[in-house]
Amino acid sequence: MSEKRLAGRIALVTGASRGIGRAVALALAREGAHVVILARTVGALEELDDEVRAGGGTATLVELDLTRGEKVDALGPSLYQRWDRLDILVGNAGVLGPVSPLAHVTSDAWQSVLDVNLTANWRLIRTCDPLLRRSDAGRAIFVGSGAAGEPSAYWGPYATSKAGLETLVKTYAREIENTPVRANLVDPGPVRTALRAKAFPGEDPNTLPAPEDVAPMFVDLALPSLTANGQVFPFRRRA
């Protein structure tokens, strides 16, 4: 049996209770990583934990609301106390927010989208950076969107938050380019997720790739052998 490619690595995955986050956590665990799975819903995390363990993997559950800044800030010290480092950070959690004219978006709705999609990821970088630097090959992977580069009418809060996230990650990549840490984004495109169904309720989900189809990209970007940094990797569905 070949050695698992991420054996002994510690990976944190946000938004892990469903969709892409869940699929990525399972994929990382299958490759030998110990996955720290983070989400707001403890029941869904427990179900994921059962599936990870059924596949021979191991997991640690973290029930956390990413809009609680002080809780996110405390995450790094908690991980340091337990493992002394972090090898893989997957910033997957995201929200769609209102799909409506900008003039109709309330300040609370605007802020709630930025809090999850942008500010929480900045806080994750800030609290996890010292731990990623303690790894021999720290990897930070975030979920981007084509909406960042090609904004559409009525998608203002979401597109703005994703454009900000892309700039945030590319800036971080510049700051760590002389270290073993690497930071990149995955643009998954249309995927069969709850967020996609909310955005396009009339779309047939069976025409879309499943989260499990996208997950291998995250595994590849988490490998110690990776050299790419500050790039956006679009998912291409195999024929």
- Asked if 131 and 174 touch (Cβ cutoff 8 Å), the reply is no
Backbone angles phi and psi of 214, in degrees to 5: -85, -30
Between CA 196 and CA 229 the distance in angstroms is 28
Tokens standing for 215? 């997950």
Q: Which residues fall within 8 angstroms of residue 94, CB to CB, at 6 or more apart? A: 15, 116, 117, 143, 195
How far is the C-alpha of 238 from the C-alpha of 229, rounded, in Å?
A: 24
With a CB cutoff of 8 Å and minimum separation 6, the contacts of 29 are 35, 52, 55, 57, 58, 59
Apex 114 CA angle, 124 and 199, nearest 5? 115
Query: How far is the CA of 44 from the CAs of 21, 109, 184, 209, in angstroms?
Result: 12, 25, 27, 22
Is 154 noted as a catalytic residue in this protein?
A: no
Catalytic-labelled residue, pool 80, 154, 158, 172: 158
Task: Cite the active site residues.
Answer: 158
